[in-house]
Structure 1
C-alpha cells in the first residue's frame, strides 16, 4: 500500500501528455488537502511520457499494457490505485475515459462523477459541479470516498511543473478479461485538435456543399484554429464524425467559436455554448445561433467568408 490519496490517470498521445492530463493534475492539486498525489501513464512505450509527467508529480507509475482497450485501462488504473493507496482517481473527460472509468469505479466500489466543471472536498466527500439539461443549468453532486471523477475539457487551468523531478516506477498489471482486437483504425488528423483548440471554426449545412469547406479550412488554418462541423454535415458525409460538435459529438469551450452557416439548434448549442466569444454568420436573421452569439453577421456566407479570410490574413501579417 502506498502513501498517496489521489491518483491522476494521465492522458497522452504516445509521445507527450495531452492538455487534458495537465487539467486533471490541476484538479488533483485543488484537492491536495486530502493527501499526496501520484500519477499513472497507461499504454505502450510509456517511459518517455512518464518522464515528462514526473516533472509535475512526485511519483508516476508506468503501466505497459499495449494498445487501448477499456478493460486494460480500467485494470491498470485499478492496479495503480491499489499500489498507491489512492481513494480518489482523477482523469480528463472525453469519449475514451467514459469507456473505462465506470469499470474502474465498479472495481473500487467507488462513486463516479463525470465531466465535472469544478470539484472540492469536505474531507469525506468529493463535491462536483457539472452541466445538465443540454448545458443550460449546472448541478452540484456529492459522492462519499472513494470517488472516481473526470474533469470536463477546457474548464481548468493547465498545471505548471512542480520544480523538481519525481520518480517513475514500473507498474505490474494483472490480466484483464480477454478481449480480442480484430482491427484498429486511426484517423490521420491534420491541424489542431478540436477539443484542445482555443479557436474553432465550424461549418454548417448552409455552406451548400463539401467543397465549400475549403474556405472553412483556410480560415481555420490562418487563425491556427480547429475545424468543426454540425451533425447535418457529418450525416451528409461531408466531414468526418471526429469533427462533429454538439450533443452527440464533441463539447468544445474555446476562447473564440466561429459558426459559419450554422443554424444553432439546441443540440448543437449543447456542444459549444460555453465558448468565451461566439461569432455567427447566417443569412437567416432568426437563426437560433444569433441568440447566443456575441457578434453576428446576417448575410451570405459565401460572400462573408472570403472577407473574414482576408481580414484574418491581414491580422496575421
Structure 2
C-alpha cells in the first residue's frame, strides 16, 4: 500500500516538472532566448536570496497560523509534529488540481498523531474557511481598487479573473454551509445518491456516502467549539494576512534583483496582481494552475510601462519565471521536505511501537 502511494506521489511530481518544461519551452520560444539568459546573468544574488527567504517565511507563518487553531483544541500533538503537518500544505496543494490535496492529508496525519477525528476535521477545514474568507475579501478589494489597471492589461480576458473570484466565493459559501447548515448533510447525501445511479460515478459516490454523514457531523461539532474562540480566530487570520503579504510581496524583490524600480503605487499593484494571479486562477485543472497563473500575471502586468510588449518583453519573461519559482516551486520543495521529515518520524515511531510490543 505504501509503495503504491509513493508511486502515485512521485508520478504527480513528475507531471509537475513535465508541465514546467513545456511552459519554459513555450515561453522562451516566443521571447528572445539569448537576451533572457543575458538578463538572468545580471540578476543580483542578494535580492533574489532575500526574495526566496521571504517566500519561505510566508510558509512558516502560514503553518504557525494553522498551528494556533490546532493547539487550541488538541495539545496531544507536539508543536514540532503539528508544525510539520501544517507545513506540508504547499506541497499537497501544489501537486493536486484545484489545490485540493492538503486538507485530506493533514486530517489523516493529525488523527495518526493522536487527535480526535472531529478535532482534526474541524481544525483543517476551519483553517481553510479562514484562508478562503481572507482570500475572497482581498480578491474583491483588489478588483475594485485596480479595475482600471486590470482592464488596461487584460481587456475582456478579465473574465478569467471574474470567474476565479466567483469560484472562490462559491467554495467559501459551501464551506460555511458545511460548517453551519444543519440540513446540508442531507443535501450532500441526495447529491451522492443521484451520482450513485451512474456507472461512471458509482464507485466514488458510494465511498462518499459511507463517510459523508460522519465527516459532516464531526466537522460541525468541531466548528461549534472552535469558532467561538475569537482570539484564536483573530490570531490565525492576522497571521494568514502576514503570510500573504510576505508571499505576494516577494515579487517586488525579484524586480529589484533585476535592477529595476517602480513607483510605490506600481509596487502595490504588482503585489495585488501576484495575489490575484495565483488565487483567482486556481480553477485551472492543473497542479498549481500551471499555465493559467503565468498567463494571468503576464496579462495584468501589461498595465505597467516596464512590461509593455507582453511575452516578447524579456523583463516580463524573467520576472514571470523567477516569481513562479519563488512562490510555487520553492514552496513546493519546502512542503516536500516537511513531508519527508514527517514520514521519517512516523517510521521511527512505528518501529518503536513494534519493538515495545515484541
Asked whether the two chains share a fold, i.e. TM above 0.5, the reply is no
Structure that is richer in strand per residue = 1
Q: TM-score scaled by structure 2?
A: 0.24
Q: Going by fraction, where is helix more abundant, 1 or 2? A: 2
Q: TM-score, normalised by structure 1?
A: 0.26
